[in-house]
Structure 1
């Protein structure tokens, strides 16, 4: 049974192939089109998935869309009626688009399938629709290592639901409690993303990264005016401060008066106010998540918890939830946002609609999230040859040795190996890597390689067997979705003068033996690397440890600001030549910047828009 899951028409569209219950392939459309958060129909992704499964379009038994468009249209329409006459201009402008894209989406999807996968197949008879939060829940539970678990999903909004609690057992999964629009933790966080001058649906992680520079001074104000949090984590928002129900912005004049002025203009200077606002909404989010989890544990008695939905990408809240030890184990879907909805829709169809059993609970079935395209060494060399790249092809041993020495010498390395990751994190397949011991790497990578804001932190990739020696974490974190503090034994004492610093002035203080991955509050977004999941990356870190005594590397996504993570060897070489990365490794091919023609150098800093 071959099932193709699809998410599209909002943001981060994706496709996923499930064959006989096994995850065969999954990819986001942005990686192929090179348009960040591409919302269009995932034609390239779908065709890739079929190639990965050695299938032709006629072999697909079902196409499953990740939500129910008519229910979403119903929510939009009823919301405008409830708030009328507010937003009438927006309503009148948007109705024609909604009718086309929501009300008649079955026809839209069928036409897209004809265009991208071929005509002559009755796609409409094979098309099914999942429910948005059920797709999220399925993406979290079915690939998890648990036979039984509670499943918490949190995001902006699906059809009506913004937060849901489900119980999974074997092949069964049912949602039995939910919070509904407009009361949404995801949209509350996005309101502050907008107000602090970042892009909604992409800048939320910037708010999370900015939070440690501030103090949660606005928590009381938020609780007094914006949100009423119950003891079980359920909550109610005062909608008189928000504009997302009927307007074209997230917040309104009343919100601005409450916080003392208009929203920060994008790309303008960050002030202590934005840092304090970020710290405050992060604290509120953590409180809600912890209370929801405590309520779930008490109400269900479940000992395992699965998480999905955009809020599940808040790795700081996840780390605090883990440390609370409310559950024996926690598993988080690495593609927790809408892209993962494609995966969940396919799995929901297989297990719930077709009533097929799950095969194993010995470990998670995400394959390390390495579900995207890969390239043979022959394909790598052909692709690099077409770009004009000058490269050498190394044996496995020589490659690992050369790259480890380059890292120890302070070089930034573009590292492209094996299958591309599914989800927003680079996990050692499409990564830029560097030496975490350097006090200047964090700033240099941000400004000279990533072309992004200097405050943004980098993550450490650490050997699983060594993680507890370096971080306050003694469990797996393969998907970079848990934040843990650097161990006290690895921290460096701060002077009294340094301790008095506030905000962005704290950025340049060297506070540990691995300053490039130590955030200003001593935290780090940890990825644990296992030989069984990514043997080549594990070998590289092990060699670096042999040379330096440090089993940790800086790991950031292989792209510049506003660009999707690289997918192909051509993408990797283009990014390499447009940035100050000094060494590129694609498969067994080694490309040194000094060997390349100056004619191939491009100004990559302005190739993509702001993220």
Structure 2
């Protein structure tokens, strides 16, 4: 059975295709349209998935949409009625869109699908999966576990904001839910908004800002904003929020409690903002740990799967792992709404094959295949595209590619690395990455300000050979998707002096703290990716060669884009970013490009090319 999964119309639209329970392809629409978090119908992602499978519309058996629009409309309408007459302006703006388009989303979807292929627009093929069930399915079915607890946390789906499910072989069933408006994801997003970042995209910035502060406001949050029970269930005090009735996340009472209006994006960060970030991070970790502990006790299950936007909080994930209630944890790398496309496809496939012929999902050590599920490009195609872009390059064999790139890294150059299939999800994992030497004390600042054009406080992640991870970090499990945080080993660290500890906020980041300062955050932590020879042999070979040159089996790995730009997809995207930033060396397939050899007329003003996220 061939099942096409779709998520669309909110943010991070995507498509995924599975054949007989095996993932064939998956990609976000933003990578093709170059619009970050693109919510539009994923025409390009669908076309890619079908092309990768060499399948026509006629061969697709089912099409699965990741949520149920009628239930979502019911929640919207009931919320407005419950808070009436407050929120009339928000209601007035939302209703025409819902009545004109989203309430009749089945027809809208069929029209969009028919435009791609008439056979895709057949009504009998279309199915809908509930939002949180799609998330749960995206985590459980690709996991290596035959049975597991599945915890899903996000802003809101139709009604659910937090759900617990149990997976056993082919079966997956939700056992508990917390409903809107009580949402851990929306609570975190309220602080994202209040500290001056964009909701649904800036939450990871709050997480990165948290180590610069102290959780001074955590007690205030617990006392006034959220009532958390010992089992992790919770309720928000809606007197302090306006997301139910207004056009912003917080209201005047929230502002009065925390000392003033929300920070504008163009205003400088103050210590208060860092303390607020530390506080909401601490509260989130507390709630997540209470949930996982109580669910572990209740179910007795020793494997845990995580999905939903809150599952991208890798600091909380690391604490759940170290808590020891579970032997193994699997986190869906596309944990947000993009992954809902994959989950919907699995939900429909498993539901229908279980009823029909008893077909089973074959569990593999990594069914996500390192999440390298997007487009790849043959060398001849790469050369044709680079020629059309006016690039100057040389073509080398595999060994020379690895050797020259490792040498460039060891000499302190920033490297663009475009290899193999593109990653599915928000992280670059050695397919579409910017790489650098983690030993450099100036690399973190240089990459932020001169290559990524982003806030200087944001940390970078290390990629480390799997078998060497325990030599450098307090972790010895797989972390292939960069979704776990662990401390740098103490014998690799340098303790900061009292004078250095007293530095304000971001100034601490410039203090030499370890042998790999470019990936060591101010609290000595790092967001790890373990690199495995089986899933990415070329990236593994590069890090191994770098270790031969330097003695260090670690590289700085950040996504191949500038701030506000989606991660690059094509060789042309890679060349444009290369020419628009201060990346000095580019490897696309077996083509090598040096910045100093390029036509200076092709240099682009990339710093201002994209809306800031």
> Which TM-score tier does this pair reach, normalised by the shorter chain?
over 0.9
- Residue matched to 1:565: 567
Task: Map residues 289-438 of structure 1 onto 2, 5 A cutoff.
Answer: 289-355=288-354, 356-438=358-440
Match of 1:40 in 2: 40
Give the C-alpha shift of residue 494 in structure 1: 2.0
User: Deviation of residue 20 (structure 1)?
Assistant: 1.1
Instruction: Decide which of 596, 609, 612 is 1:610's aligned counterpart.
Output: 612
1:604 alignment partner, SS class: coil
- Tell me: CA distance 1:121–1:313, structure 2 relative to 1, closer, same or farther (3 Å): closer
TM-superposed CA distance for 1:539, in Å, is: 0.2
Identify the residue that residue 271 of structure 1 maps to in structure 2.
270
Q: Is 1:543–2:542 an aligned residue pair? A: no
1:212 equivalent in structure 2: 211
Report the CA distance between 1:121 and its aligned residue: 5.3
Contact between 2:509 and 2:522, CA under 8 Å: does it hold in 1?
Answer: yes
Q: CA deviation at 1:181?
A: 0.2
Report Cα offsets for 1:295-316 as digits up to 9, x if no partner: 1001111110000000000000
The runs of 4+ residues in structure 1 deviating greater than 6 Å are none
TM-superposed CA distance for 1:548, in Å, is 0.2
Residue 100 of structure 2 corresponds to which residue in structure 1? 100
How do 1:170-189 residues align onto structure 2 when only pairs under 5 Å count? 170-189=169-188
Which residue number in structure 2 is paired with residue 285 of structure 1? 284
User: Contact 1:142/1:358 (CA < 8 Å) preserved in 2?
Assistant: no
Deviations 1:374-429 (A, max 9, x none): 00000100000000000000010011000000000000000000000000000000
CA shift at 1:492, angstroms? 1.3
Q: TM-score, normalised by structure 1?
A: 0.99
8 Å contact kept, 1:148–1:168: yes
> Deviation string for 1:148-206 (max 9, x for gaps)?
00000000000000000000000000001000000000000000000000000000000
1:606 is paired with a residue whose SS is coil
Measured against aligned partners, the alpha-carbon deviations of 1:322-358 in whole angstroms (never above 9, x if no partner) come to: 1111111110000000000000000011112331543
Alignment of 1:84-99 (within 5 A): 84-99=84-99
Question: What residue in structure 1 maps to residue 70 of structure 2?
Answer: 70
Matched, 1:23 2:17: no
Aligned to 2:597: 595
What whole-Å deviation, never above 9, does each CA across 1:220-265 have from its counterpart, x for those lacking one?
1101100011000000100010000111000011111111110001
User: 2: distance between equivalents of 1:362 and 1:414?
Assistant: 31
Which residues of 2 match residues 385-534 of structure 1 at below 5 A? 385-534=387-536
DSSP 3-state at the match of 2:562: coil
* Distance in 1 separating the partners of 2:361 and 2:29: 29
How far, CA to CA, are the matches of 2:485 and 2:99 in structure 1? 43
SS in 1 for 2:250: coil
Counterpart of 1:578 in structure 2 is 580
* Structure 1 unmatched ranges of 5 or more: none
Q: Does 1:159 align with 2:158?
A: yes
What is the distance in 2 between the residues matched to 1:46 and 1:588?
28
- Which runs of 5 or more residues in structure 2 are unaligned? none
Aligned residues: 610
Task: Compute the RMSD of aligned alpha carbons.
Answer: 0.8
Q: Secondary structure at 1:27's aligned position in 2?
A: strand
2:143 aligned with 1:109:
no
* SS of alignment partner, residue 172 of structure 2: strand
The 1-side partners of 2:465 and 2:55 are apart by: 37
Deviation at 1:596, TM superposition (A): 0.3
Equivalent-residue separation in structure 1 for 2:432 and 2:182 (angstroms): 37
Write the distance in 1 (CA, Å) between the matches of 2:44 and 2:287.
38
Cα displacement (A) at 1:362: 3.9
1:25-68 CA-to-partner distances (Å, cap 9, x unmatched) read: 00000000000000000000000000000101111111100000
